[in-house]
């Protein structure tokens, strides 16, 4: 059975400190202009910290009962685990820098070797193999690599290799372009369907044909023009990337970042409220505190004044809150992002000690008999978690999304149905028979609208939105719906926006 050591006890204590409760009121709020942050996800907490660092007296309102949004923890079978994000991209130092500032620098870890696998069909039969090693978002940097050929066959490689000889049209550098269109036109459908779509579906819960290439793969289009082919562009970008793993984590879980942010804010005198919804934002220019924020909680409604307001909610909620002040924002209201259901299983299965399918699998959409779009073998991916769980005990997390009507039906199913499906999917994906009796504990976590679609034209829409809100001085809007998906993007964008607006 799983056991607790001192690290896990510390995590459990941290989770307890973040459980629902009344606002934390410091003995004395710091002097300085008052700032209100609407939303207590990671972007809101990072924004609040930036404001506190710049001398503001900060108050944060979160409508749910917990901090961190998609970066929070839960406990399953006695193990403190991540309920949402469990890693961060290392293409920039944004998350590592923040973690270091919060005293977590020494806990940053790389995943164990093994890497992710692909699960797809070939001639009607299921196939599992390691994800090609030379790619970005599944796009191969070497179309003739053996692991690429194994996945898409010789004919697929021939089509992909045509990219090396095809001229790059000038129009590629202009206008909007989807990731799917770029890959299909340069390398063909085999690369797109078998290699790219499983990766993109796992990361973004979206079809590559809908995603803006400049948002999900910054710099890729320019590199194609520069190097004259998609494969050479991918190879060049990989060569220029920092050495080491493409992702990192925090020993004890990414949820420790949320715990540390909340503790840091409290230490800086911020006033933090959960279970409190912001129902109206008003603005009256020319006064010392031109912003009025009306909130509702179990005790009723009240209004607070502020010199600054940061809205850090999901896109539709942010636009709905602000468009009464600035009606032009209504035309920038984004569609709700994709919802995701995550099923965590803690199983007693010594056969999995050998990590038979690396650190997890990405599933090609439409693969017969598999409902999940991805499986993370978390205890094979992270050494700290393997140590926590102990030999023979394994943590598996399966993700269910909404890329099709059938996928949506399954993602929205009741918890018991999802658990049953997860056990069956894990058995098929890992090639190891799992039964209900092997499950030591389980949980289902649902994130509705958690992954905003960065659809084609995203960059231009974000620029237009941010230009529009300049009409309201003292207002900032942050979050994944603007920055793009992923902790690295959210943290970097939030900090840069608050730094710019403070000058």
183 contacts 192 by C-beta, under 8 angstroms: yes
Give the pLDDT score at 15: 42
Measure the CA–CA gap between 209 and 185, rounded to whole angstroms: 12
463-466, long-range: CB < 8 A, 24+ apart = 464/332, 465/329, 465/332
CATH number of the CATH domain containing 136: 1.10.3110.10
Asked if 393 and 348 count as a contact pair (C-beta separation under 8 A), the reply is yes
Q: In whole angstroms, what is the distance from residue 63 CA to residue 313 CA?
A: 10
Rounded Cα–Cα distance for residues 480 and 495 (Å): 13
**pLDDT for the residue 444:** 97
Question: Pick from 412, 429, 451: which residue ends a domain?
Answer: 451
Domain identity same for 312 and 226: no
Residues 414, 300 share a domain: no
Domain boundary among 240, 271, 292: 240
CATH classification at residue 50: 3.50.50.60
The answer to whether residues 444 and 297 belong to one domain is: no
Q: Do 404 and 329 fall into the same domain? A: no
Q: 390 burial class (0-12, 13-18, 19+ CB within 10 angstroms)?
A: middle
Q: Are 127 and 60 found together in one domain?
A: no
What pLDDT is stored for residue 28 in this prediction? 44
**What residue has token string 């499950």?**
439
Considering the domain architecture, whether residues 320 and 460 belong to the same structural domain is answered as yes
Cα separation, 304 vs 289, in Å, equals 10
Q: What is the pLDDT of residue 29?
A: 47
Structure tokens that stand for 402 in this block: 């909404």
Q: Following DSSP, what letter does each residue of 84-115 receive, concatenated?
A: S---EE-SSSHHHHHHHHTT-GGGEEPPPTT-
Residue at 299 is within a domain:
yes
DSSP letters spanning 423-443? HHHHHHHHTS---GGGEEEEE
Contacts of 150 (CB under 8 A, 6+ apart): 129
Residue 144 confidence (pLDDT): 95
SS3 248: strand
Q: Are residues 315 and 220 located together in one domain of the fold?
A: no
What pLDDT does residue 7 have?
42
CATH of the domain at 443: 3.90.660.20
CB atoms under 10 Å from CB of 239, counted, come to 8
Q: Is the dihedral of CA 321, 326, 327, 333 positive or negative?
A: negative
5 domain-assigned: no
Task: Pick the last residue of a domain from 410, 427, 451.
Answer: 451
Residue 339: what pLDDT? 75
| Same domain assignment for residues 292 and 355 | no
Domain tally, the chain? 3
In a domain, 33, yes or no: yes
Is 79 among the domain residues? no
Q: Which domain holds residue 398?
A: 338-451
Q: Please state, in angstroms and as integers, the Cα–Cα distance from residue 260 to each residue in 62, 127, 197, 220, 279, following that order.
A: 17, 42, 35, 34, 28
Residue 301 is predicted with a pLDDT of 97
Query: Burial of 175 by CB count in 10 Å (0-12 exposed, 13-18 middle, 19+ buried)?
Result: exposed
Q: Examine the domain organization and report whether 185 and 232 are in the same domain.
A: yes
Phi-psi region of 51 (alpha: psi -120 to 50; beta: other; left: phi over 0): alpha
Whether 102 maps to a domain, the answer reads: no
Task: Evaluate whether residue 305 is within a structural domain.
Answer: yes
Q: What is the pLDDT of residue 377?
A: 98
Task: Using alpha carbons only, give the angle 32, 23, 72 rounded to the nearest 5 degrees.
Answer: 105
Question: What are the DSSP calls for 143-206, one per residue?
Answer: TT-HHHHHHHHHHHHHHHHGGGTS---GGGGSS--BHHHHHHHHH-HHIIIIIIHHHHHHHHSS
Shared-domain flag, residues 326 and 465: yes
Based on the fold, state whether residues 129 and 232 are members of the same structural domain.
yes
Which residues, other chains included, contact 15 with Cβ-Cβ below 8 Å and sequence gap of 6+? 73, 74, 75, 80, 255, 259
**Does 28 reside within a domain?**
yes
Give the pTM. Answer: 0.88
Low-confidence ranges of the chain (pLDDT < 70): 1-31, 243-244, 337-338, 402-405, 449-453, 500-503
Residue 89 lies in a domain: no
142 and 224 inside one domain: yes
pLDDT given for residue 455 in this prediction: 72
């Amino acid at each position: 059975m799983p056991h607790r050591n001192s690290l896990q006890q510390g995590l459990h204590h941290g989770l307890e400190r973040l459980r629902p409760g009344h606002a934390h009121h410091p003995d004395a709020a710091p002097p300085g202009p008052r700032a209100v942050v609407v939303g207590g996800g990671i972007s809101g907490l990072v924004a609040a910290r930036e404001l506190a660092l710049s001398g503001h007296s900060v108050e944060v309102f979160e409508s749910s009962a917990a901090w961190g949004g998609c970066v929070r923890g839960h406990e399953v079978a006695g193990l403190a685990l991540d309920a949402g994000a469990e890693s961060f991209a290392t293409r920039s130092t944004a998350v590592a820098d923040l973690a270091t500032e919060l005293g977590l620098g020494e806990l940053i870890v790389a995943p164990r070797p093994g890497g992710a696998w692909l699960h797809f069909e070939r001639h009607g039969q299921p196939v599992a193999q390691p994800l090609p090693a030379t790619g970005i978002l599944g796009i191969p940097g070497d179309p003739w690599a053996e692991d690429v050929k194994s996945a898409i066959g010789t004919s697929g490689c021939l089509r992909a290799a045509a990219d090396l000889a095809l001229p790059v049209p000038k129009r590629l550098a202009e206008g909007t372009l989807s990731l799917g269109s770029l890959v299909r036109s340069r390398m063909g459908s085999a690369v797109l369907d078998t290699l790219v779509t499983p990766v993109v579906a796992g990361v973004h819960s979206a079809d590559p044909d809908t995603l803006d290439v400049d948002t999900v793969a910054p710099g890729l289009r320019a590199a194609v023009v520069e190097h004259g082919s998609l494969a050479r562009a991918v190879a060049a970008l990989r060569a220029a990337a920092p050495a080491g793993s493409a992702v990192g984590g925090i020993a004890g879980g990414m949820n420790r970042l949320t715990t540390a942010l909340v503790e840091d804010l409290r230490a800086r005198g911020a006033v933090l409220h959960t279970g409190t919804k912001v129902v109206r934002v008003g603005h009256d220019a020319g006064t010392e505190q031109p912003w009025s924020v009306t909130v509702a909680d179990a005790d009723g409604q009240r209004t607070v004044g502020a010199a600054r307001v940061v809205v850090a909610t999901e896109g539709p909620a942010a636009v709905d809150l602000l468009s009464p002040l600035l009606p032009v924002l209504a035309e920038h209201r984004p569609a709700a992002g994709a919802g995701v259901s995550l099923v965590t299983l803690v199983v007693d299965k010594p056969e999995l000690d050998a990590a038979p399918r690396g650190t997890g699998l990405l599933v090609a959409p439409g693969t017969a008999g598999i409902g999940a779009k991805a499986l993370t073998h978390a205890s094979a991916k992270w050494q700290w978690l393997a140590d926590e769980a102990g030999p023979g005990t394994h943590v598996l997390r399966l993700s269910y999304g909404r890329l099709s009507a059938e996928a949506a039906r399954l993602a929205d199913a009741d918890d018991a149905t999802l658990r049953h499906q997860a056990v069956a999917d894990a058995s098929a994906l890992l090639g190891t028979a799992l039964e209900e009796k092997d499950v030591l504990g389980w949980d289902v976590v649902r994130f509705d609208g958690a992954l905003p679609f960065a659809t084609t034209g995203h960059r231009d829409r974000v620029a237009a939105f941010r230009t529009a809100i300049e009409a309201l001085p003292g207002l900032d809007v942050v979050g994944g719906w603007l920055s793009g998906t992923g902790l690295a993007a959210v943290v970097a964008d939030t900090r840069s926006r608050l730094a710019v607006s403070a000058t």
